[in-house]
Protein backbone atom coordinates (compact mmCIF):
# COMPACT_ATOMS: atom_id res chain seq x y z
CA UNK A 1 0.00 0.00 0.00
CA UNK A 2 1.33 3.40 -0.98
CA UNK A 3 1.96 5.86 1.82
CA UNK A 4 2.70 9.53 1.25
CA UNK A 5 3.61 11.81 4.15
CA UNK A 6 4.16 15.53 3.65
CA UNK A 7 6.28 17.76 5.85
CA UNK A 8 7.86 21.19 5.81
CA UNK A 9 4.88 23.51 5.61
CA UNK A 10 4.72 26.66 7.70
CA UNK A 11 4.27 30.41 7.67
CA UNK A 12 6.34 32.94 5.76
CA UNK A 13 6.07 36.53 4.62
CA UNK A 14 5.45 37.41 1.00
CA UNK A 15 8.64 37.14 -1.02
CA UNK A 16 10.02 34.40 1.20
CA UNK A 17 10.75 30.74 0.51
CA UNK A 18 9.58 27.39 1.82
CA UNK A 19 10.34 23.79 0.92
CA UNK A 20 7.79 21.04 1.36
CA UNK A 21 8.71 17.37 1.16
CA UNK A 22 6.81 14.14 0.70
CA UNK A 23 8.16 10.80 1.91
CA UNK A 24 6.88 7.96 -0.24
CA UNK A 25 6.80 4.29 0.56
CA UNK A 26 5.09 1.14 -0.59
CA UNK A 27 4.94 1.80 -4.30
CA UNK A 28 6.75 -0.05 -7.02
CA UNK A 29 5.70 1.75 -10.18
CA UNK A 30 8.39 1.46 -12.83
CA UNK A 31 6.94 4.46 -14.56
CA UNK A 32 5.00 7.06 -12.65
CA UNK A 33 3.60 10.52 -12.22
CA UNK A 34 4.27 12.39 -8.98
CA UNK A 35 2.54 15.64 -8.23
CA UNK A 36 2.01 18.50 -5.84
CA UNK A 37 -1.51 19.86 -5.51
CA UNK A 38 -2.89 22.62 -3.34
CA UNK A 39 -6.26 23.60 -2.01
CA UNK A 40 -7.04 27.06 -0.71
CA UNK A 41 -10.07 27.74 1.51
CA UNK A 42 -13.24 27.77 -0.56
CA UNK A 43 -11.46 26.65 -3.71
CA UNK A 44 -11.05 23.39 -5.56
CA UNK A 45 -7.84 21.42 -5.30
CA UNK A 46 -5.50 22.28 -8.18
CA UNK A 47 -2.36 20.74 -9.62
CA UNK A 48 0.72 22.87 -9.00
CA UNK A 49 3.63 20.82 -10.36
CA UNK A 50 4.35 17.31 -11.60
CA UNK A 51 7.35 15.15 -12.40
CA UNK A 52 7.38 11.82 -14.19
CA UNK A 53 9.69 8.83 -14.08
CA UNK A 54 11.76 10.29 -16.94
CA UNK A 55 12.28 13.48 -14.97
CA UNK A 56 10.01 15.64 -17.11
CA UNK A 57 8.38 18.42 -15.13
CA UNK A 58 5.25 20.46 -15.64
CA UNK A 59 4.00 23.51 -13.77
CA UNK A 60 0.82 25.47 -13.46
CA UNK A 61 1.24 28.91 -15.00
CA UNK A 62 0.71 30.57 -11.62
CA UNK A 63 3.92 29.07 -10.18
CA UNK A 64 6.22 28.84 -13.21
CA UNK A 65 9.60 30.36 -12.48
CA UNK A 66 8.96 30.38 -8.73
CA UNK A 67 8.42 26.71 -7.77
CA UNK A 68 10.67 23.75 -8.51
CA UNK A 69 9.62 20.11 -8.17
CA UNK A 70 12.26 17.43 -7.69
CA UNK A 71 12.76 13.88 -6.48
CA UNK A 72 15.47 12.18 -4.49
CA UNK A 73 15.23 8.55 -5.51
CA UNK A 74 17.73 7.45 -2.88
CA UNK A 75 15.52 8.86 -0.14
CA UNK A 76 12.21 8.21 -1.92
CA UNK A 77 11.17 11.81 -1.44
CA UNK A 78 9.35 14.34 -3.57
CA UNK A 79 10.16 17.98 -2.89
CA UNK A 80 8.69 21.32 -3.84
CA UNK A 81 10.92 24.37 -3.48
CA UNK A 82 8.77 27.49 -3.36
CA UNK A 83 10.40 30.89 -3.85
CA UNK A 84 9.00 34.40 -4.17
CA UNK A 85 5.90 33.28 -2.33
CA UNK A 86 2.71 35.31 -2.61
CA UNK A 87 -0.32 35.48 -0.30
CA UNK A 88 -2.31 33.68 -3.00
CA UNK A 89 -0.02 30.67 -2.57
CA UNK A 90 -1.61 30.10 0.84
CA UNK A 91 -3.16 26.62 0.83
CA UNK A 92 -2.89 23.08 2.06
CA UNK A 93 -0.33 21.34 -0.13
CA UNK A 94 -0.76 17.66 -1.00
CA UNK A 95 1.53 15.21 -2.73
CA UNK A 96 0.09 12.55 -5.01
CA UNK A 97 1.38 9.53 -6.89
CA UNK A 98 0.11 7.24 -9.62
CA UNK A 99 1.08 5.31 -12.70
CA UNK A 100 2.49 7.15 -15.69
CA UNK A 101 0.42 9.00 -18.25
CA UNK A 102 1.73 11.37 -20.89
CA UNK A 103 0.25 14.46 -19.25
CA UNK A 104 0.87 14.14 -15.53
CA UNK A 105 -0.58 17.60 -14.88
CA UNK A 106 -3.98 16.37 -16.11
CA UNK A 107 -3.93 12.99 -14.43
CA UNK A 108 -6.53 11.85 -11.89
CA UNK A 109 -4.49 10.60 -8.92
CA UNK A 110 -5.55 7.84 -6.55
CA UNK A 111 -2.82 8.05 -3.90
CA UNK A 112 -2.64 11.11 -1.66
CA UNK A 113 -0.83 12.39 1.38
CA UNK A 114 -2.58 14.08 4.28
CA UNK A 115 -1.46 17.60 3.36
CA UNK A 116 0.67 20.31 4.93
CA UNK A 117 -0.36 23.93 5.49
CA UNK A 118 1.51 26.77 3.80
CA UNK A 119 0.59 30.30 4.85
CA UNK A 120 2.00 33.40 3.19
CA UNK A 121 1.32 36.74 4.83
CA UNK A 122 1.46 40.09 3.09
Give the residue from 32, 22, 12, 24 showing the smallest Cα distance to 82: 12
Residue 20 · residue 35 · CB < 8 Å: no
* C-alpha span between 54 and 32 (Å, rounded): 9
Report DSSP state, residue 88. Answer: G
Tens-of-pLDDT digits for all 122 residues of the chain? 889 999 999 999 999 999 999 999 887 778 899 999 999 999 999 999 999 999 999 999 999 999 999 998 777 899 999 999 999 999 999 999 999 999 999 999 999 999 999 999 99
Is residue 76 classed as helix, strand or coil in its secondary structure?
A: coil
pLDDT attached to residue 29: 79
Amino acid sequence: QIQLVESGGGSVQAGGSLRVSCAASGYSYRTYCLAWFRQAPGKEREAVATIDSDGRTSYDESVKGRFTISTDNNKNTLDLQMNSLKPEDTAVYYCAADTYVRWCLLRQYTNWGQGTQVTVSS
